[in-house]
């Protein structure tokens, strides 16, 4: 029961089971017909709803609008609000659409490891994995010193997880997937999207329709740097060839320079990218790409992988990385490899892009940030 109000012997209740935004209104009066009327026929029902009692005077979320900051402190209850109920439904639709797209296109879902002993980016920060309750008097029991990683990919032909890997073919898979995501949400979450358009970000539906209807802009990294320098705009972070693009640069490109159109930037300097990305013929750049979208910036990052063993070993030497630590990865090249590519997507960024939520912490049921794990 979302709300209940009693006045002059009239009970006005609004009921919602969480499956949609709209409430069902129930108005009861003392003279409601049929209250104590006997019925001769049998009553059949397919399911019944059991209602748990809640004291409205002590319930943490009152009817007045609560701030997002406050709602993060009651993350276990905030899905009961209109905003976070809508976010949860859109998130569910996006997750389903992701699986549907890849399954319909012949991909195999794999469960890649969350914790690995390989530093796939070449510069990961190390952390400790310990037992929760130690048997040692000195405290934490060290299991292994493990570098953090964003990769958990395997070398099959067409596989995906939430951070998909796909075979490099002459196709625009990332664009088709983005179109599919947006179409699915617009077609299957209309009521929720109307809510976001009214209360969260006016114009969000038009912005998402642009993703479907307009062509993506293709831009090389070098051209992007030239565009930013030529804009004469003062950025907080410097713009120079060889430096990574910051969020302010990415948003300027997609929101200002190209009027809200998604932009694909490719061919980044190899010095700012991971060792496994395929070196281009110029010897200075790699076959890497980022998909930039309005408000969020980078939504997808991907690259063609280096399938040539000698190039891969040379790159590891350049970065002073221990090749013994990557024995299994080198084996994948040593024992037969083909040109292939992959991309990674920040799922919460996708939810943020689709809903217009300002803070990414509001796109996930229980956000985790450094120093905070209350739930």
Residue 346 lies in a domain: yes
Domain shared by 230 and 346, yes or no:
yes
> What range does the domain containing 148 cover?
117-152
What the block records as the tokens of 205 is: 């539906």
The tens-digit pLDDT sequence of the chain (375 residues) is 777 787 777 878 888 878 888 888 888 776 766 655 665 666 677 777 677 787 888 889 887 888 999 999 999 999 989 999 999 999 999 999 999 998 998 888 887 766 666 655 554 555 555 655 555 544 443 334 433 334 444 445 788 886 433 334 444 445 566 666 788 899 999 999 999 999 999 999 999 998 888 889 999 999 999 999 999 999 999 999 999 999 999 999 999 999 999 999 999 999 999 999 999 999 999 999 999 999 899 999 999 999 999 999 999 999 999 999 999 999 999 998 899 998 888 888 999 999 999 998 899 888 776 666 677
Q: Are 15 and 23 in contact (CB under 8 A)?
A: yes
Give a yes or no: residue 323 inside a domain: no
Same domain membership, residue 13 and residue 162: no
Instruction: Check whether residue 142 and residue 192 sit in a common domain.
Output: no
Residues 231 and 347 in one domain: yes
CB-based contacts of 154: which residues, under 8 Å, 6+ apart? 110, 112, 165
> Does 244 share its domain with 143?
no
Whether 91 and 205 share a structural domain: yes
Indicate whether 332 belongs to any domain: no
Token pair 């209104």 in the structure block, residue:
25
Count of domains forming the chain: 3
Q: What six digits make up the tokens of 148? A: 């953090």
> Would 43 be classed as within a structural domain?
no
Residues 209 and 358 in one domain: yes
DSSP state of 26: E
Give a yes or no: residue 326 inside a domain.
Answer: no
Last-in-domain residue among 152, 174, 207: 152
CATH number at residue 240: 3.30.930.10
State whether 183 and 157 are in the same domain.
Answer: yes
Q: What's the pLDDT at 113?
A: 66
Q: Do 186 and 287 belong together in one domain?
A: yes
**126, 15: one domain:** no
- Structural contact between residues 351 and 90, judged by C-beta atoms closer than 8 angstroms: yes
Report the predicted TM-score, pTM, of the whole model to 2 decimal places: 0.75
CA–CA dist 316, 254 (Å, integer): 34
Tokens of 348: 């919460």
Return the pLDDT at 161.
80
pLDDT at 292: 96
**Could you tell me where the DSSP H helices lie in 12-59?**
none
The residue among 152, 169, 203 that closes a domain is: 152
């Amino acid at each position: 029961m979302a709300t209940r109000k009693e006045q002059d012997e009239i009970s006005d209740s609004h009921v919602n089971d969480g499956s949609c935004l709209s409430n069902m209104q129930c108005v009861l009066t003392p003279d409601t017909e049929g209250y104590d009327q006997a019925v001769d026929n049998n009553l059949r029902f397919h399911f019944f709803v059991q209602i748990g009692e809640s004291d409205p005077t002590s319930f943490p979320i009152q009817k007045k609008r609560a701030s997002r900051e406050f709602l993060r402190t009651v993350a276990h209850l905030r899905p009961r609000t209109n905003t976070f109920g809508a976010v949860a439904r859109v998130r569910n639709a996006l997750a389903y659409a992701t699986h549907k797209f890849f399954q319909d296109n012949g991909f195999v879902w794999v469960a890649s490891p969350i914790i690995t002993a390989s530093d796939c980016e070449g510069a990961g920060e190390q952390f400790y994995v310990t037992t929760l309750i130690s048997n040692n008097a000195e405290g934490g029991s060290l299991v292994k010193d493990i570098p953090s990683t964003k990769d958990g990919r395997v070398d099959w032909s067409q596989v995906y997880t939430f951070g998909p890997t796909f075979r490099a073919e002459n196709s625009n898979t990332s664009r088709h997937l983005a179109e599919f995501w947006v179409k699915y949400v617009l077609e299957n979450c209309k009521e929720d999207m109307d809510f976001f358009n009214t209360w969260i970000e006016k114009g969000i539906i038009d912005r998402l329709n642009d993703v479907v209807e307009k062509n993506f802009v293709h831009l090389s990294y070098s051209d992007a740097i030239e565009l930013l320098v030529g804009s004469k705009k003062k950025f907080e972070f410097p713009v120079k060839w060889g430096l990574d693009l910051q969020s302010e640069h990415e948003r300027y490109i997609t929101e200002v320079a190209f009027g809200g159109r998604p932009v694909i930037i490719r061919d980044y300097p190899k010095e700012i990218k991971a060792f496994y990305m395929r070196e281009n013929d110029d010897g200075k750049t790699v076959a890497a790409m980022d998909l930039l979208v309005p408000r969020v910036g980078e939504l997808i990052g991907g690259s063609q992988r280096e399938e040539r063993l000698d190039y891969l070993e040379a790159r590891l030497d350049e970065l002073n990385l221990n090749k013994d630590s990557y024995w299994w990865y080198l084996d994948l090249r040593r024992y037969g490899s083909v040109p292939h590519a992959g991309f990674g997507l920040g799922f919460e960024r996708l939810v943020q892009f689709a809903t217009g939520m300002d803070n990414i912490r509001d796109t996930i049921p229980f956000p985790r940030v450094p120093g905070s794990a209350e739930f």
